A = this chain, B = another copy of it.
Amino acid sequence: MADAITSRETDYSKWYLDVIRHAKLAEHSPVRGCMIIRPNGYALWENMQAALDKMFKDTGHENAYFPIFIPQSFLAREADHVDGFAKECAVVTHSRLKLDPEKGLIVDPDSKLEENLIVRPTSETIVWDTYSRWIQSWRDLPILINLWNNVVRWEMRTRLFLRTMEFLWQEGHTAHATRKEAVDETIQMIDIYARFAEEFMAVPVIKGIKTASERFAGAVDTYCIEALMQDGKALQAGTSHFLGQNFAKAFNCQFQNKNNEQEYVWATSWGVSTRLIGALIMVHSDDQGLVLPPKLAPTQVVLVPIYRKDEEREQVLNEADKVIGDLKAAGIRAKVDAREGYRPGWKFNEYEVQGVPVRLALGPRDIASGTIELARRDTGTKETVDREGLTALISTTLSDIQQNLFDRALAFREDRTTAVDSYDEFKSVLDGKGGFVLAHWDGSADTETQIKEETKATIRCIPLDAIDADGSGVDLISGKPSAGRVYFARAY
């Protein structure tokens, strides 16, 4: 790994891939578009899962598992869903291989399936087929289920974490007796995603609703959270869909309501994926490598022992174990790097690249003076501090880092959010500093399409907290009245 990380200024895309490679987060696999998530990347995902899973369970959801395969005919049942998901996907057509004397291993033509199976791109269809058997009465509702699994969408242009053929995610699927309950659930889940992004990932997000053209295929309304990357492009970080009765109708899922009438069930679905790791990297990391928010960092504190002679080694490692023992007892994820054959400077660099929030260094002189060196990854600052009170200091430092990362990202986003009132201004901001452009919109697909075609900017969302909605604003293109500003941006 002698090669350095490309700077963001030189080539943002290459910088992103360099950070992933140097921090050993993931790599491309021999199967085009599929990634291998390495232990450093997977540990991040595990921490994300743990935090999200707790939030889901605290709001009454249970986990379950549905099959990886979906019968081809299921995908055709919900009219809009077909368009969105019955296109580029992995189609299983056979169930057997055989050794051919001449050609080697081949698919056995005799094993052709009666009905093709699709590797799930998302599970609404098989879930609602199942719910139609589970639900008879209002007493069977609500059903609040979440699935942690892998899905496949045959993407042609892939990018590690952000867009891959296979990705890991969670998909929630809930069933309700009333429209209101389902809408409330949809909003509750986008709120949970926003809270997770801001509190754990230290990534500020805009909550909003997608326009019709950006909506999930089969949804009545798609709520989303949108984050801003350091190159000024937006990234959709999570979505929560109010599905109305669309899937219930497609799979004939009715229930007897409290008035003894048959009614179609109301539905939601919501998901976040390993794409969040891509967002995390692109929001916080720098030219030295990964920067991780302490709440998600697999290792929050690493201690590098410094010694020259063998007799120093034992003393230093003993003291290091004490320091780390205290930190662990306080619930901090800390470790000593006692590997031999690597110079301290090499280790410092490795942990910088991997984004460990706090790095300690301890040598014989520190031990003599009752001090230790503490370096922060986010600011790069380094200071010698007293061993006395170290655990409390580190707890505070980790909180500070978490807050600092959020504040920094928020300041960046605020700096790159511009309200404009003319199309010329719109284009000049987009081509200038980029970021979110807040503009009035008349709600028509015409304006949206024209802007997308001319500038590659899309409406990221109609914010839930309406902006300048006093009725005085007019659409940039049509000049027609607007109900408030919407967020435009170029996006991943």
* Residue ranges of A at the interface with B (Cβ–Cβ < 8 Å): 29-31, 34-39, 41-43, 45-46, 62-76, 82, 86-99, 104-105, 107, 111, 116-119, 126, 129-130, 139, 145, 149-150, 152, 154, 166, 168, 341
| Copies per complex of this chain | 2
Whether B95 contacts A29 by the Cβ 8 Å rule is no
Question: Interface on chain A toward B: helix, strand, loop, or mixed SS?
Answer: strand
Whether B97 contacts A29 by the Cβ 8 Å rule is no
- Which residue of B is nearest A133, CB measured? B27
Contacts of A93 in B (CB 8 A): 91-94, 107
A89 to B74, CA, bound (A): 22
A88 to B92, CA, bound (A): 13
Whether B105 contacts A97 by the Cβ 8 Å rule is no
Whether A96 contacts B88 by the Cβ 8 Å rule is yes
6 contacts between A and B (CB under 8 A): A30-B74, A39-B64, A43-B62, A68-B68, A72-B97, A87-B96
- Which residue of B is nearest A143, CB measured? B39
Contacts of A75 in B (CB 8 A): 97, 105
Whether B90 contacts A97 by the Cβ 8 Å rule is no
Instruction: Point out the residue from B34, B82, B129 that lies within 8 Å of A99, measured CB to CB.
Output: B82
Least Cβ–Cβ distance between A438 and chain B, in angstroms: 38
Whether B95 contacts A130 by the Cβ 8 Å rule is no
Contacts of A98 in B (CB 8 A): 87
Contacts of A36 in B (CB 8 A): 64-67, 130
Contacts of A92 in B (CB 8 A): 90-93, 119
Instruction: Point out the residue from B31, B111, B168 that lies within 8 Å of A65, measured CB to CB.
Output: B168
A416 to B75, CA, bound (A): 51
A359 to B129, CA, bound (A): 35
Contacts of A29 in B (CB 8 A): 66-67, 126, 130
Least Cβ–Cβ distance between A302 and chain B, in angstroms: 16
Whether B166 contacts A67 by the Cβ 8 Å rule is yes
Whether A38 contacts B67 by the Cβ 8 Å rule is no
Q: A46-B63, A65-B36, A150-B149 are in contact. Are A96 and B89 (CB under 8 A)?
A: yes
